[in-house]
Each structure stands twice: as structure tokens, then as C-alpha cells.
Amino acid sequence: MTEVIRLETPLTHEKVAQLKAGDNVLISGVIYTGRDAAHKKMIEALASGEKLPFDMKDQIIYFVGPTPPKPGQVIGSAGPTTSYRMDAYSPKLIAEGLTGMIGKGLRSPEVIEVMEKYGAVYFGAIGGAGALIAKRIVSAEVIAYPELGPEAVRRLVVKDFPVIVLIDHLGNNLYDIGKAQFERA
Amino acid sequence: MKTIQVNEIIEAVEKLCIEANYDLGADVMLSLKQALTTETSPLGREVFERLIENATIAHEERVPMCQDTGMTVVFVEVGQDLHIEGGSLTEALNEGVRRGYEKGYLRKSVVKDPFDRVNTGDNTPAIIHYDLVPGDELHITVAPKGAGSENMGALKMCKPSDGLEGAMQFVMDTVDKAGGNPCPPIIVGVGVGGTMEKSTYLAKKALLRNVGVHNKEARLARIEEKLLEQINKLGIGSQGFGGMNTALAVNLEVYPTHIAMLPVAVNINCHSARHKEITLKGRDE
């Protein structure tokens, strides 16, 4: 087991500055969900001067669309979705104050540039570990776009939610660092 | 003439949808445990441990391993001497999917129109591949496929002069470009030959083969082994965090092709590698 950093939300810039690519982090506190359709709606809301479902300042968005909860469950299986589909939208939300994103997979150079400019972190949750991750979610409440079903924006309270820092605020990228370390010619 | 009632088919498909999403294949579980012993990356080992734990939770608590419970791909082998009674076979398969996704609390991820993108609400229609075979049985394989891995698939109409080397290079390039997106450790389905659509069909069908089972033809099995070795040298690792184990298997299927063609299709599967099957036997009327 690698060393674990415990992180409480909100994710302030002071906390952002301490995280580096490859760090093993357990997040506790409030995070918000949003994936393809919710991002599209939020960007449309921004363009037309409407309010966003929540204040982005120092917040974390988790790219996820959970399965329906079984009776007695807080949320269904809830692993990360692939992040590059949010690349077109993330820079605008980071400019609004968003400091953290949780997903899986590669991000575009444009997103990384904006993360460096404003100071934001991209975390990875383990793709396909939806049943395990759901156990770290204490409560879930739909706060916007209920018509989107699994894609609705939810406010989650999480406890020891396991993530890895994939890209830090300096643009260090675990996908590059890790691959280079293990690549064999 | 043997007969199968559509109700039997509906019930079977419902069950297969749920099992495919809740129960990791024993072959994949074994392969994950083996990877854990060879992985030198501490983060990589942690990922394997969590994936094994996740599969155990899903199995024991009867919940989906992954929230992306996929678009439901169904491969059906229909015995040509079989009579299906009580309704349409296609509708029965879709009804099974509908019930399985509802009763199993699986996510409904299908949109009716690729442009309007309104959810159908029941994960239908399924993608159904029929094959007419000798006999009087019905063999059904349900293989739900998530978008994270499916989006990383690719097809190249290689030139015959590209040969085996060019085909292998395309597979390597596709896996390398996909990086951590398709949820490594992955299973790589490769279809070579036929026509454009035949190669992509073969690449998907190759994913139905269990991890560790090679192509029956020795020369093709050697290509699978070589590709697996090369992919694992890329360093992508589990989840793309860097490591020794990027793929658990490469499954290759080939088919005769045209004198001027060399289609190469790659269909990547995530570590959930969902596929469950059943054979229904016809009864005397």
C-alpha cells in the first residue's frame, strides 16, 4: 500500500498546491456529480447568464452516471466515466472556480493548460470499481437536471473516497510519468 | 422438429444480463490474481487489489461491478431445425434485456437517436448478431459492452503489402493511443480479414473467448502471445498509471479476404470482460 493523503473538501488553492501527480488520496466531504449531458447544460446555462446548479468555487466534480440504487442503497455502482468527453466543457468550469475533477483517462492539452493557469487538480478513480466506490458514498441527492436520470447533477457526501492524483496544478501527468517508468523497448 | 417457447428465451436473457454485470468471469479473476503477483508498480498492485475486492463485493452483494452496464450485445446461434413458438425471437431477446436491466438495477444507457440522444429507458434495442447453425438448439451469449472501452476500438483497411507486421503495428498503435481510457487491464479483440464489417464483427466476437484460451491455430496463437508481450511492454499499466500489466489477453480471429484487402479491426474490452452464455435445448412438440 502506498502512502495515503487525507483530503477534506472544499478543495482550496492551498490544498491544491500540496497535491502532486501520483499521490494516493482519500477524499471526505461534499463533491458533485456531472457527466456529458449535465456539462452541456451547465455550459449553456453559463452562456445565457443563468445560475449554475452549485457554486463552483473550490469544488470537485465527479464524472459519473451511477446505476439505479437497490432498495436500501444510497447509490448504485458509481465508478468514473472517461473524462475526455468533458474536455470541451471543463476549462469554462475551472474558470468559474472549480478546483477538482474526478474521472478516468487522458485529458486534452487545453484542459491541462487551464488547470495550470487557475490551479486545479485532476484525480483518477479506479475505472470499473463501481461497487467498491459506492461504499464510500455516504449520501446522494439530485440537485439539478433530474430529467437526465443517471446523468443528473448529484450532491454526494463521501467518506475516504479513493483517488489518485493524475494531473497536478503544475501539469505533471501520471499517465506520462508512469508509462515512461515502465516502458520497455 | 424441436420447439422452444419465447418465454424461456426471455427468462434466460434476463438472467444472463444480470449475471454478466454482477459476476466477473473466473478466468478474469484468476488473471487479475496472476497479474498482482507479477506487477512491480505499487500503484498498479493497489489497483489489482481493489479490482479483485470490487468483483468480490459485486458478486456477494448482487450489484453491478461497474456503473456502465453497457449496450447489450447478444450473439445468438440458432439451430436450423429449431422452431421458436409464441412470438418473434428478436422481440424475445429485447424483452429479456428490458426485464434484466430493470430487475437487476442496471443502468439504462441507450439513446434512441444518435443525434437527439433521448434515452429509451430500458436499454433496448440490443445489438443482436444471428448465426444459423446445424441442429435444434439455441445458444445465446450476452456480452454487455461499456462505452469507455468500445470508444477506443478502431478499424484500418490495411494494404496487403502491410502484411502481418503492419497489422500488428496497427493493433499496437490502437492500444497505445487508448492509454488508460478503456480501463486497463484490457482484453484486446482483433479481427483480421473478410470485409470492413466482417473484421469488426470478428474483433468483437474474439472478446467472447475466455482469458488464457488461445486461437486453436498454433500460428495465430503465437501472434496472440507476441502481441500480448509487446502490449505489456508499452508500460501503460493497470488504469494507465504505469505498470507491467496493460493487457490480460489478446484474442485474434481471422477470415478469408479479398486479393486487394487486409482489414484489421481492434475491439478493446475493459477488465470486467462481461459475457455469459446458455444453451437452450428444443423440446419435442
By annotation, the residues of A acting in catalysis are: 39
pLDDT score recorded for residue A1: 53
* Residue B216 belongs to domain spanning: 148-269
Quick one: B142 and B153 in the same domain? no
- Has residue B255 been placed in a domain? yes
Same domain, B137 and B278: yes
Instruction: Let me know whether B170 and B214 are in one domain.
Output: yes
Q: How many angstroms separate the CA of residue A104 from the nearest CA in chain B?
A: 7
Q: What whole-number distance in Å separates Cα of residue B187 and Cα of residue B28?
A: 10
Q: Tens of pLDDT along A20-31?
A: 999 999 999 999
Domain assignment present for residue B44? The answer is no
pLDDT at B1: 85
Q: Where along chain A do its domains lie?
A: 4-182
Facing residue for B183 by CB, picked from A127, A178, A184: A127
Residues B11 and B131 occupy one common structural domain = yes
Residues B163, B129: one domain?
A: no
Q: How many domains does chain B have?
A: 2
Q: CATH assignment of A4-182?
A: 3.20.130.10
Cβ within 8 Å, pair B240-A129: no
Q: For residue A14, give the C-alpha cell.
A: 492551498
B35 inside domain: no
B80 and B122 part of one domain: yes
pLDDT of residue B50: 96
Q: Is residue B279 domain-shared with residue B223, that is, in the same domain?
A: no
CA-CA distances (angstroms) from residue B278 to B27, B135, B143, B267?
Answer: 17, 15, 12, 23
CB within 8 Å: B181 and A82: yes
Tell me whether residue B279 is in a domain. yes
CA A68 to chain B, closest CA, distance in angstroms equals: 5
Contact B66 A130 (CB under 8 A): yes
Is residue B189 within 8 Å of B171, Cβ to Cβ?
no
pLDDT tens figures, B19-47: 999 999 999 999 999 999 999 999 999 99
Do B8 and B110 belong together in one domain? Answer: yes
Give residue-wise pLDDT tens across range A126-150.
999 999 999 999 999 999 999 999 9
Is B187 within a domain? yes
Mean pLDDT to the nearest integer, B190-207: 98
Alpha helical stretches, state H, chain A:
13-18, 36-47, 90-95, 109-118, 130-134, 174-182
Same structural domain, B134 and B155: no
With pLDDT > 90 as the criterion, what percentage of chain B qualifies?
99
**Stretch A7-36: mean pLDDT:** 98
Give chain B's mean pLDDT: 97
Residues of A in contact with B181 (CB under 8 A): 82, 84, 104-106
**Domain shared by B176 and B139, yes or no:** no
pLDDT per residue over B68-87, tens digit each?
999 999 999 999 999 999 99
Average predicted confidence (pLDDT) for chain A: 97
Which of chain A's residues have a Cβ under 8 Å away from the Cβ of B234?
Answer: 179, 183
CB B231 within 8 A of CB B250: yes
B174 and B115 share one domain: no
- Answer whether B107 sits within 8 Å of A66, measured CB to CB: yes
- pTM across the whole model: 0.96
Indicate if ipTM > 0.85.
yes
User: Same domain for B139 and B278?
Assistant: yes
Chain A residues in contact with B186 by the CB 8 A cut-off are: none
Does B224 reside within a domain? yes
Report CB contact under 8 Å: B41, A182. yes
Residue B89 in domain:
yes
Q: Shortest Cα distance from B240 to chain A (angstroms)?
A: 6
User: What separation, in Å, do the N-terminal and C-terminal C-alpha atoms of chain B show?
Assistant: 8
CA of B148: how far to CAs of A104, B7, B99, B183, B222, in Å? 9, 33, 24, 7, 28
**Looking at residue B9, which CATH number applies to its domain?**
3.30.360
* Domain annotation covers residue B212: yes
Indicate whether B285 pLDDT > 80: no
